[in-house]
Structures are given as structure tokens and as C-alpha cells.
Chains A and B, each alone.
Chain A
């Protein structure tokens, strides 16, 4: 069983970058052993987001409209005025985080879900973003399994091998 004490991220994998000039979009794919409905809840319910996501939401994100995302793990509070533009449970969720757009797609995969995230986080942040999301997705998995190890974001992620992941993703993306 994974615990916060024994958790360590694996090798960088499951991410690639779409490059259009200088506008880079990070694409992450993760196969989860839980149903799209369950994964959808984890992506939208503020109580669940608190257990794994890099931000807190001031309302359930499963409805179109305005919301506020509070970025977690930074020494200063950063609140982003967000708009959920598409919320089609349990398949498609789109909103912005700061100036970037995020698109979540949930495809059934047997009894589980293939989760894909598009995040146009920009060239300077792709490797850091991939490393951060990698760890968040690992934590998400523990939440879905009913044994949450607690969110690991921002400064804390550094203690969980975030730098090594970042370096690996930098190498991978540089070669694409």
C-alpha cells in the first residue's frame, strides 16, 4: 500500500508536448482503474480536489460558469478567476487556470478510465508542469483507491523527487 512515507514517483512517462511555434501544450495521459463517474467526481468535487489537486475550487466544477481556483503550495496566495466552459459529465471538462486552458477527457477503458489532460501551460513551464501533474496524478490514484496520502504540490513536491522528474521531462520534451 502506498503511504506518504514510502511514496516515490516512477520514471517520467505518459506525457508529450504539442508545439505550435512558441505555444506549447502539455498532454498527459493516465490510465486509472476506476470508472469515469468516480474520476469525474475527483476532478470536480471541491472536497476531493483538496486531496490531490494543485488548486482548491470554491464550488463544484461540474457546472458551466464562473468559479475561483486558489493555487496551493506557494508562499503567496494566488486566486484565479476561472470560467468552466464545458462540463459534460463524465466525459469532458474544460476551464481555465490563470491564463491557461485546461481540457480533461475521460474515456472508458474496460472498467476503468483513460484520463487525458491538455494544459497549454506554455513552453517555459511544460517540464515543471509535467512533473507536478505526474505527482498529482499519483496522489489522485490513492484518492480513488480510498487510501489518500494527502496532496503533494508546489514546494512540497520538491521533497518527493519533483526535480528529477522535471529533468527527465525536459529531456523527453526537448527531443520531440
Chain B
């Protein structure tokens, strides 16, 4: 049994695709639709055949409530691992990334939090001791 898909609710799939590829640097994997439902996923450029992140439209009441709830509590909807948080911050700021928390040292890691333009906060994390494969 494998974990191949993670999912995040977004309020606009086209906007989400732009942010997750052009700002965060993921690559588009799947993009097809059936009627009013669009299956859109991105993957890491470093692991293009690894876990895919589904950018799911939040067009149901549960999704909207859940998404808003996390956002209001300043809770990131998703965590992404990077090697160097400062480097990512410096790269993304000129691209218009809206950080709510700049690179910050915590016990065991460095983190930063930014808005994903589609209703979520997402967190970047670099672990102090990250086992590279």
C-alpha cells in the first residue's frame, strides 16, 4: 500500500496551478476534467514520479468550512520540505510571494509560512537533521 496522493482545497484551480508551479516550483502532473470536475495535480520537480498534490476545488460546504477554519486559526494546510528556507524565501519574494512568517528558527527546524493565493497558508520547513535519500 502506497501513499501517492495528497490533497489541498483551493478556491480557484487555475490560480492555484499558477502559484504552485510558478512560485513554489512544482510541476503539473495531471490535468483533465469531466463535466464540472477538474482533476489537477502537481508533483515535486525533484521527485516528478513521487507523491502528487491534488489541487481540489473547494466547491462543497465542508471543504469551504474546513479550509476557512484552518486559515482563521493560522494553521497551514500543507507542509513542504526544503533544504534551505532562507534560500526559498529569497527566491519567492521577488515573485510576489506573501509570507505571513519569515524564515524562523524553531527547535529542530527552520520554518516560514506564506499564503497560497487560493485560501490557504502553506508552510516551508527545513529540518535540522534531514535524512537525504
Interface residues of A (CB under 8 A from B): 54-55, 71-75, 78, 97-100, 119, 121-122, 124-125, 128-129, 132, 153-155, 157-158, 162
B32 and A158 form a contact (CB under 8 A): yes
B32, A98: Cβ atoms closer than 8 Å? no
Chain B positions within 8 Å of A, measured between CB atoms, are: 5, 13-14, 30, 32-39, 59
Contact residues in B for A162 (Cβ distance below 8 Å):
32
* Contacts A55-B34, A97-B35 supplied; 15 other A-B pairs, CB < 8 Å: A73-B32, A73-B34, A74-B34, A74-B39, A100-B36, A124-B14, A125-B38, A132-B34, A132-B35, A154-B33, A154-B39, A155-B32, A155-B39, A157-B32, A162-B32
**Shortest beta-carbon distance from A18 to chain B in Å:** 17
Interchain CB contact (< 8 A) of B34 among A99, A100, A122, A154: A154
Contacts across chains A and B counted by CB atoms under 8 Å: 55
Q: Would you list 13 pairs from A and B whose C-beta atoms are within 8 A, ordered by A residue?
A: A55-B35, A71-B34, A74-B34, A78-B37, A121-B35, A124-B13, A125-B38, A128-B33, A128-B38, A129-B35, A153-B34, A155-B32, A162-B32
Chain A's nearest CB lies how many Å from the CB of B128? Answer: 36
A119 CA to B36 CA in the complex, in Å? 10
- Rounded to whole Å, the gap between the CB of B2 and the closest CB of chain A is 14
**Complex contact A100–B35 (CB within 8 A):** yes
Flag if A98 contacts B39 (CB, 8 Å): no
CB distance from B3 to the nearest CB of A (A): 14
In the assembled complex, the Cα of A157 lies from the Cα of B34 at a distance in Å of 10
Q: Is the CB of A155 within 8 A of B36?
A: no
CB distance from B40 to the nearest CB of A (A): 11
Once the chains are docked, how many angstroms separate the CA of A100 from the CA of B14?
19
- Known A-B contacts A75-B5, A99-B59; the reply to A121 vs B36 at CB < 8 A is yes
Q: Tell me, rounded to whole Å, the shortest Cβ–Cβ distance linking A30 to chain B.
A: 17
State how many angstroms separate the Cβ of B15 from the closest Cβ of chain A: 10
How near does chain B come to A1, taking the closest CB pair, in angstroms?
27
State the CA gap A98–B37 with chains docked (Å). 9
A121–B34 CA distance with the chains assembled, in angstroms: 11
Q: Which one of A54, A75, A155 contacts B35 once the chains associate, using CB atoms below 8 Å?
A: A54
Report yes or no: B36 in contact with A97, Cβ–Cβ below 8 A: yes
B28 to chain A, nearest CB (A): 12
| B37 / chain A contacts, CB cutoff of 8 Å | 71, 74, 78, 98
Given A75-B5, A99-B59, residue A122 in contact with residue B36 (CB < 8 A): yes
Q: A75-B5, A124-B13, A124-B14 are in contact. Are A98 and B36 (CB under 8 A)?
A: yes
Residue of B with least CB distance to A73 = B34
Chain A residues near B5 (CB-CB < 8 A): 75
**In the bound complex, how far is the Cα of B7 from the Cα of A74, in angstroms?**
14
